[in-house]
Structure 1
């Protein structure tokens, strides 16, 4: 049996080519229809000279054709690199350079000069199809895709995931959530976000269908709540922020649970206990799961909520080892940094030395009374905002380029949907700094979710004895002023 990521789709195709594979707005594509697009794209990519191990940057909106492009790349041994459409051109250029990409596919004109080959999805589909190329020999340990995440130096890091890494997670997740061929999975996350891996490949692993949520609705609580009910979603997976948007603005608790929904999974950031209890109590018939894991490890722990959590007064646990992972605490044994080893741990950062052994997450955890792992917090400047992993140093590096800024620190303030990015700025030579100006400046360099929400002007930044910004002191001071 093949252990390649594309085999999920191929196996389901052979079992029932007429079964729905992807719901894309009003259009539904069967496994057979999607496969025809995959083969057409394989022919087009080969005609453009792409071959195994080349990197293909995909700067596109979510669509069934984009899903087909991923499958085409996998079958040809091409490493795909999804980039969210919200990324500015400067960020896309950075990813292209770091990935040493061979080709770029967009929804529309590339919009900037590049020495690389490039095309739009429409042009690829309109091209004349040659004979479908034969699939090359691919090892399960070869890279399947690269997900670029925020980096502490201002340079994004390319997390390289092999077929083995991805399948270790998907195989576990499908069993854990009990996904079957009759299910309809939501696809809330952008394809550049690791949550999307379960949405797509979890569905394909069992011959189920995935329903793509358009970017325009991703942050609209009313639209998301309606989507679950109207599209008859049975398995939902998103960051807690999306759930809280539905609770606060979509009337999620006004009516009973959607008739078809049976599993709701959240990951990517802590879920406030009060909200989780309300969900658990209101939707007693829906399984609620909390999954944890940085992009570098896929999901490495999981926890399913139960009635006993209604009396809990501590944060929801991240649970027990998942995806075949060995999870330990260092120095431990009962508290320390979360360290992960096993088949789901990444190949390494693209362009850097391969990952050697266990991956230290930078997250701290402790062992609860039932032996489950509880998340304590971060050890560095890495924060979760709107469900995305963000290095504040990445934002600070960009803000430091602003001509009116002498010194800057970025803090994540608040909780849940109220969590925001605050830029604490020391102006240069008494120059004026405005929030609108900072938003405009960061928008040309960073994804939308990394644009600062608030501005706080100070004369100097507090520092620790070793010269680093005293973030604890600063956060306390800013928090007091915002109260």
Structure 2
């Protein structure tokens, strides 16, 4: 049995019915169980008033019920809106309002909760999901992805990556992070299985390896940062994980050093690099690091060539992409659409904001960002949204963020700065009593991955000639405060 993303339904119902489909904290769910659970979920969703064209907010983490709800939405023609429990309640409430949801499905409680007072269908028809990313205006923005786009993505995994028959894929990325769709589409489209690895499993490295062993995971998809973390465990190797043979990377630059460390652990592994923003259905380019590219060892590796259904081109140094996989626009934000969406050869096209160039083989090389957006541990973060959250702390009138980077230029962590309405003495000031628990206060407004590691109080935030926060000067302030021991973690 498998899930056909072209028609959004289960097919080959008499084939391998008892084969595993999901591995999770609840045990193992076979394909028959997944099919029946999805049918039952759809009946309950209809009873809750959910129909085609509506948005359903799914709240949870790595529950099997989360996957069931996603598949149920696809079959009903409803758009699912994944919101991980890492998000504070205020953000969940805000997103529910933005999509005018009829209901919120709590995957952990297996319960339908009321949505907004006056729900209505989405204006854009034929959506598979709406995924919210960090917004430069301080408000999350909803990326609208069509059902046809998901079908193209699943078809690429099925037809181009040669993952074998019924492979088991590891799933550790949040369902509200678009790269997690790779694991689900790969497993379900190929009739394989998906090993759901929640935070508490990953936090225990031995338990994590055990989960991968039990599920016989063959395909690993993650950021390079995440695989670097696993190198601390000596059991992360081919001897303990003999089924693991394919690594797919995205969301961050892949360096030869990481690849070589991985090959030292898994000598026969295939390594595939990919690239693409949420606005282009997870990824647009891909390349397998073969012998020639491995020998050349460009640092970082290129992110590859366009997929069969996509076109990628460079416009004034910016990576652009066109095709049916490009989003249907930001949810009710034509002002944002105007700056990034356009038509190219009769197809939707998107200006990514990423800088890059293309080599003689047509491979794209990522060269950084045009703006203040960063990728930290795989999460896309607009510094402006963090700035806004900082400025809402008690007593603050302004907030700003700077990024500490590794020698290769990749973001390592964020540092926050605030200016108080009633400043004290000195350029760098003590943290006032109401802000002693500043991390918990911030976590009420933004997800944990958007909370800076340190906070400094400045007499005034430095600004540029155009009255924008001078993040370069913030770096100098940080260095001075660190030398004086003024940071608060």
Note whether the superposition's TM-score is higher than 0.5: yes
Aligned ranges for residues 234-313 of structure 1 at < 5 Å? 234-248=218-232, 250-251=233-234, 256=239, 258-298=241-281, 299-308=283-292, 309-310=294-295, 312-313=297-298
**Structure 1 pair 481/424, CA: closer, same or farther in 2 (3 Å)?**
same
**Corresponding position of 1:122:** none
What secondary structure, in the 3-state scheme, does the structure 2 residue paired with 1:291 have? strand
Higher relative contact order (CA 8 A, sep 6+): 1
Given the alignment, which residue of 395, 399, 404 partners 1:404? 395
**Corresponding position of 1:445:** 445
Q: Contact 1:323 / 1:343 at 8 angstroms: preserved in 2? A: no
**Corresponding position of 1:25:** 25
What secondary structure, in the 3-state scheme, does the structure 2 residue paired with 1:466 have? coil
Tell me how far apart the structure 2 counterparts of residues 241 and 192 of structure 1 sit (CA, whole Å): 18
What secondary structure, in the 3-state scheme, does the structure 2 residue paired with 1:419 have? strand
What secondary structure, in the 3-state scheme, does the structure 2 residue paired with 1:207 have? coil
* 1:72 equivalent in alignment to 2:72: yes
Given the alignment, which residue of 149, 164, 168 partners 1:180? 164
Q: Contact 2:105 / 2:112 at 8 angstroms: preserved in 1? A: no
* 1:459 equivalent in alignment to 2:450: no
Q: Contact 2:5 / 2:189 at 8 angstroms: preserved in 1? A: no
Two-structure CA RMSD over aligned residues (Å): 2.9
Tell me how far apart the structure 2 counterparts of residues 289 and 479 of structure 1 sit (CA, whole Å): 38
Give the gaps of 5 or more residues in structure 2. Answer: 344-348, 425-429, 484-489
Tell me the TM-score normalised to structure 1 length.
0.86
What secondary structure, in the 3-state scheme, does the structure 2 residue paired with 1:374 have? strand
Shift in Å at residue 311 of structure 1? 5.0
For 1:185-230, what per-residue CA distance to the aligned partner results, in whole angstroms no more than 9, with x for missing partners? 1111111111121111211111111111123224554543443334
Tell me the TM-score normalised to structure 2 length.
0.85
Aligned length: 455
Given the alignment, which residue of 304, 308, 319 partners 1:319? 304
Shift in Å at residue 41 of structure 1? 1.1
**Corresponding position of 1:196:** 180
Moved more, 274-283 or 252-261: 252-261
Shift in Å at residue 148 of structure 1? 0.8
**Structure 1 pair 329/480, CA: closer, same or farther in 2 (3 Å)?**
farther
Tell me how far apart the structure 1 counterparts of residues 446 and 175 of structure 2 sit (CA, whole Å): 17
What secondary structure, in the 3-state scheme, does the structure 2 residue paired with 1:348 have? coil
Give the gaps of 5 or more residues in structure 1. Answer: 119-139
For 1:212-259, what per-residue CA distance to the aligned partner results, in whole angstroms no more than 9, with x for missing partners? 1123224554543443334321001112222111013x2366764721
Tell me how far apart the structure 2 counterparts of residues 205 and 141 of structure 1 sit (CA, whole Å): 24
**Corresponding position of 1:352:** 333
Tell me how far apart the structure 1 counterparts of residues 112 and 52 of structure 2 sit (CA, whole Å): 27
**Structure 1 pair 307/477, CA: closer, same or farther in 2 (3 Å)?**
farther
